Amino acid sequence: MAELGQELGIGGPLSPAALRARVYRYHLLLRKYWWLPLMILSGSLLVQGVRYFLGDPLFVSTGRMMVAPRIMTKESAVYTEELTNYFGTQVSLMQSDEIKRRARQSVEASHPDLKGVAAELAVQQEPKASIFILKVTSPDPKYSQLFADACMSEFLEFKREMRGETSQKTVDAVAKQLSELEKAIADLDTKIFEFKQQNNVIFLQEQGNYVGSYLVDLNKQLAELKKEAQLLDLMNIDQTLEREAQGSETSSAVKDGAGSAALVEGPQSEYIQTKRQLQRSKARLEQMSKYLRPKHPKILSLKDDITRSERKLEIVRQQSQESVHEKRQAIQLQISNLEKIVAESETKALEVGRKMAEFDKLKTERDRQKQLYDSLLGTVQNVNVSQDVSQFDVNILEQATPAISVKPGAVRTLLLGLGVGLILSGGLLFLLDRFNDRVSTVVELTEHFTEPIYGQVPEELPDADGRLPLLNPQDTRHVYAESFRNIRSSLRFVGADGQKKNRIILVTSPTPGDGKSTVTANLALTLSFATTQKILLIDGDMRRGGLHRLFGLDGEPGLAEVLGGQAEWRKVVQPTRYKNLFFMSAGEPTGHPGELIFSAACENLMEELRSEFEMVIFDTAPVLAVDDTPSLAPKVDGTLVLYRAGRTSCRLMRNTLEALYSRNAKVLGIIFNGVDPKQPEYGYYKYTEYYYSKTVSRKRTPPTAGADQPAAETAAVPGSGPEGDGSMGGPPPVTIKKT
């Protein structure tokens, strides 16, 4: 069901009611435009018939080609084709204009008498097989067979030419690259020879090795000197002398025959000896002080020795400072000299390395170019070998068969015409429906508008005189009368706690011709039939009011005179021939009723009517025709908008509702007028047998005066027809009571 809804132009799944409404909409459209599909079908059948009887017979010849296997070799891999869409490419190539042109020229060259014959070529791949089927259709059977054979032959020839051309282009391109490589290799050989002449390569290699080793030794010496200089900067003179003394003692010690070592004379040795002697003297003084007095000669002698040793140690320290300073300067000179020698050696090493790198680069480039040259040379040989070998070899499996006639039969031709006509007709009806925003069912109406539906008034056909009679208490139009009773119930029971809030009701429509006046009059009549209080019907169209003609009453004075202050409303209200129903006409037509609507008299009139009548029904002008109705709507208790099925545009209805809402009018709902009672969603029509089953078994008696009609006391209401007005109808003229 959802798929059917999508086919009918409605997005999403459809409910059963919506589906029935959509089918009914297309049914109405087909009833209205039945001649359009008939005309299209007739034209389609006529065209197919003319083509059948006047068309030339056609003949078809069939040929078959297949992709044959082959031996895979290394050389055959040189020429390749795109594999992903290989078969589709071959089919397109067989059907190309170039193959057709070659085949046509080949046939006309061998058979000049067949020159100018038209032919159509169709190629398809057989399912699950590497076989191509070629079909040629032509008015001449001989030409069909010859053209099919020529197409297969020219296809194979074209493939060979394309393969040969591709191979030749490849050979030419590779030969050009070989020539360029030969020149490049010769240039590199020349550069290598010149480099060898300018430089002794063997000497450069040995020199590079020697300079590298020499630089390593120099860097080691430089590192040792820098380390020594840092230690001299960090240590004080005592630490320096002790370190040098220990180093001198260790390095300069020599063994004599007795195995004892003699120290080399020097400031470091004297410093060590003096320091040791001082330490021994201090130790003896400390030991002797334990058992000798401070004034003891030995104690005094030791103290003198200690003092002399300290002075001597200080003198040695001062002398050594100059020696350490000179040593530091000597080390700095050695560092500077080594750094200079290292820089010069590095420069020589870099120069040697640069020359050797240049030589290696020339040799590497020459080897690379030579390797590429050998590879391209082998490629040329492979292309020459595989020039006649394709990746897939398409051969002729079967030659073209003798042509057979394929002229379609009459039934097939007519069915084709019928199918085309149905498709065109359906598409045209679909477009007409898309451009038509008028609805015919209540389901469609609720899809377009959110306002409640107060009732559905069925379409009622006029009588033989072309008039549509108003309702009467004993009306036999049961479905028609029941629809107004439904609207009456909706109006009476709207409100909270049983209170009737909507005392003054305005009825309007978007455009003229929607049946507004007839519906308003019948609604007022239906309200009067079910009450003992007074109901007032007012013709609010002060421009072209004509509601008084339906009741056969006077048109002047009326509402225009009341709002203009020219008459008092109680004198303007007229009784009708129907009990409890009173009427106020529009009055003398005026071109500017808006000033009357905005007057204070209009507000006073509304208040007095609310207190005097149980319900007041206004029949007003169409909303989109004039601005009177949107100005009057905010002053009443509620507004009913009439929508005529199949006639009123939804776009105009939206404009009407927007105009009313923009004036803060209270829109009660929509009256759906002119509904087809036979449509699927109309309820009352399904139970019409209920009314007839009651009325057939019961003897009908005419109404008596006083039940629904007043007793005759005065003159009859004017009217020429049997309904009282000579045009729109109603019950026969009766006498009414004067007010």
Across 665-687, b (16+ Cβ under 10 Å) vs e yields bebbbbbbbbbbbebbbbebeee
Find which of 21-30, 50-59, 138-147, 688-697 is predicted with most confidence, using mean pLDDT: 138-147
| Mean pLDDT for the chain overall | 76
- Domain 444-462+470-696 sits in which CATH superfamily? P-loop containing nucleotide triphosphate hydrolases (3.40.50.300)
What per-residue confidence (pLDDT) applies to 144? 87
Q: pLDDT digits over 303-329, tens only?
A: 888 888 888 777 777 777 777 777 777
**Angle at the Cα of 19 (from 16 to 23), degrees rounded to 5?**
140
How far, CA to CA in Å, does 569 sit from each of 72, 251, 560, 562, 587? Answer: 112, 147, 10, 6, 11
Q: pLDDT digits over 422-461, tens only?
A: 888 777 777 777 777 788 888 888 888 999 988 889 988 8
What per-residue confidence (pLDDT) applies to 510? 93
What per-residue confidence (pLDDT) applies to 522? 93
Q: What is the pTM of this model?
A: 0.48
Q: pLDDT digits over 353-373, tens only?
A: 777 787 788 888 888 888 888
- Return the percentage of the chain with pLDDT > 70, whole number: 75
**CB under 8 Å to 367, separation ≥6 — which residues?**
none
Spatial separation of the C-alpha atoms in residues 443 and 19, rounded to whole Å: 9
Domain range summary for the chain, segments of one domain joined by +: 1-32, 202-252+263-385, 444-462+470-696
Per DSSP, the residues of 317-336 read HHHHHHHHHHHHHHHHHHHH
What per-residue confidence (pLDDT) applies to 317? 75
Spatial separation of the C-alpha atoms in residues 281 and 274, rounded to whole Å: 10
Spatial separation of the C-alpha atoms in residues 152 and 156, rounded to whole Å: 6
First to last CA, the chain: 63
